[in-house]
Structure 1
Amino acid sequence: MFFRKDKKKSYDPREKTPMIHASICNGEEVAGFKNLKTGAFEEIMFIRNDRDLDDFKKQYGITGDIGKTYITIK
């Protein structure tokens, strides 16, 4: 059987920081990057479980913990 090797994606840590947005209403979590200059959040992946978070970290070569911001949906 043939397996496809996933390509690592990259981001500039001088401009963006990995972050998780978590809803305080329903607990949904979205992984992405926060722009350090503008504060804008770029959504990358919906996080359903620890495996999704590990996949996100592996795709972008992120080690260690990722910060979490709690948000309210209006």
Structure 2
Amino acid sequence: MSIFKKKHTQSYDKMNKKPVLKTSVCTGEQVAGFQDIHTGKIEEIMLIKQTGDIDTFKQMYGIDGEIPKVY
């Protein structure tokens, strides 16, 4: 048995949702999540406390490229 765990990529509905960073205009706080392209509703997944958290979110869901900000 290995002490290292294999990282599994989680999935999301790529046909109906897009990854976004919900950003507060006042405080600058950011939350990574997915926005429904039909309703605009955002499902918040994780709080971004430092720049490395965005990379973690991208790796968790297999996202390449930049994630757009939503205010």
* TM-score, reference length from structure 1: 0.88
Question: Which runs of 4 or more aligned residues in structure 1 lie more than 3 Å from their structure 2 counterparts after TM superposition?
Answer: none
Query: Structure 2, unaligned stretches of length 5 or more?
Result: none
- For residue 59 of structure 1, give the secondary structure of its aligned residue in structure 2: helix
Deviations 1:14-65 (CA, angstroms, capped at 9, x unpaired): 1000000010111100000000111110000100111100000000000000
Matches within 5 A, 1:59-70: 59-70=60-71
Cα RMSD (Å) of the superposition? Answer: 1.2
- For residue 31 of structure 2, give the secondary structure of its aligned residue in structure 1: strand
Matches within 5 A, 1:7-46: 7-46=8-47
Q: Give the paired residue count.
A: 70
- For residue 45 of structure 1, give the secondary structure of its aligned residue in structure 2: strand
For 2:61 and 2:4, how far apart are their aligned partners in 1? 20
The AA in structure 2 aligned to 1:7 is H
* TM-score, reference length from structure 2: 0.91
Query: Structure 1, unaligned stretches of length 5 or more?
Result: none
